[in-house]
Amino acid sequence: MSDTLFITGATSGFGEACARRFAEAGWKLVLTGRRAERLNALVEELSKQTEVHGLVVDVRDRKGMEDAIASLPPSFAKLRGLINNAGLAVGTDPAPKCSLDDWETMVDTNIKGLLTTTNLLLPRLIAHGRGAGIINLGSIAGNYPYPGSHVYGGSKAFVKQFSLNLRCDLQGTGVRVTNIEPGLCESEFSLVRFGGDQARYDATYAGAEPIQPQDIADTIFWVMNTPAHVNINRLELMPVSQTWAGFAIERGGK
């Protein structure tokens, strides 16, 4: 029987690339996202390769998530993998210029949405046991501070610590937990973050040879397929072109 994988946020970027990568290898898939048209098109396309079930649902909607997961056909009941991928950053303005609404959107999606999905699916992963795995999408923003990262980086630091703590509590179940921590990657993530500003998106990636969603999908596929006694705790990736800036020092300030 094929293994089943649940991916949140499969309508673009890493989630879509993972769906394609795992479908290619014959995994059964449960794919989620809010954009119904995109999700349905992907489900239809990948259904030619494997069994796929689409759930049009917002990870911030607890009742919607409960109902969607409860509606899964019995053949998708047992999960070998969960990729908690749905997430976003809103804006790059410094904290004093940000709206509380934007901050809450990031907390509700990146933290609360991930917690809802994890909590609802843990019993199914534990039922699978040895070899099962949860892969969370953290970020280098959860490891290093930079201007304009405030709540986004804070949310990803939460994801990192939650992933490590979850590992402790899953000891003895066979379920593995990994936090993937990418740096600069080319995806709609930046279009969302820049409010749809295509010129700023283009400038962000120009000449930088950023990581591509396919690179992340290949990495996640490898992590999920390491031997069942191996747990990759955290995995940080950057494009070769990206390193760290120095400390900022203001001189003659207030």
Name the residue nearer to ligand NDP (CB basis): 11 or 219.
11
Q: Take residue 21 and report the two structure tokens written for it.
A: 């990568």
Using CB under 6 A, pick the residue from 47, 49, 50, 58 that binds ligand NDP. Answer: 58
**150 to 189, contacts with ligand 8X3 by CB under 6 A?**
183-184
Rounded CA separation 62/90 (Å):
21
Rounded CA separation 232/176 (Å):
8
Q: Is 141 in the site for ligand 8X3 (CB under 6 A)?
A: yes
Inter-residue contact 55 to 32 (CB < 8 Å) = yes
Q: Is 114 in the site for ligand 8X3 (CB under 6 A)?
A: no
Name the residue nearer to ligand NDP (CB basis): 67 or 127.
67
Active-site entry in 146, 152, 201, 205:
152
* Residue 227 CB-half CA count within 13 A: 2
Kindly report the number of other CB atoms within 10 A of residue 209's CB atom.
12
| Segment interacting with ligand 8X3 (CB under 6 A) among 14-22, 38-46, 138-146, 229-237 | 138-146
Torsion of the alpha carbons at 185, 186, 187 and 193, rounded to the nearest 10:
80
Q: Take residue 196 and report the two structure tokens written for it.
A: 């749809």
Q: Which amino acid type is present at position 9?
A: G
Q: Is 90 in the site for ligand 8X3 (CB under 6 A)?
A: no
Using CB under 6 A, pick the residue from 23, 125, 140, 151 that binds ligand 8X3. Answer: 140
Task: Compute CA 90 distance to the chain's CA centroid, rounded to the nearest angstrom.
Answer: 16
Q: Is 152 marked active-site?
A: yes
Inter-residue contact 223 to 235 (CB < 8 Å) = yes
Choose the one of ligand NDP, ligand 8X3, none that binds residue 118, judging by a C-beta under 5 to 8 angstroms depending on kind: none
Q: Which residues bind ligand NDP (CB under 6 A)?
A: 8-15, 33-35, 58-60, 85-88, 109, 113, 137, 139, 182, 184-185, 187-189, 192
Q: Which residues bind ligand 8X3 (CB under 6 A)?
A: 139-141, 183-184
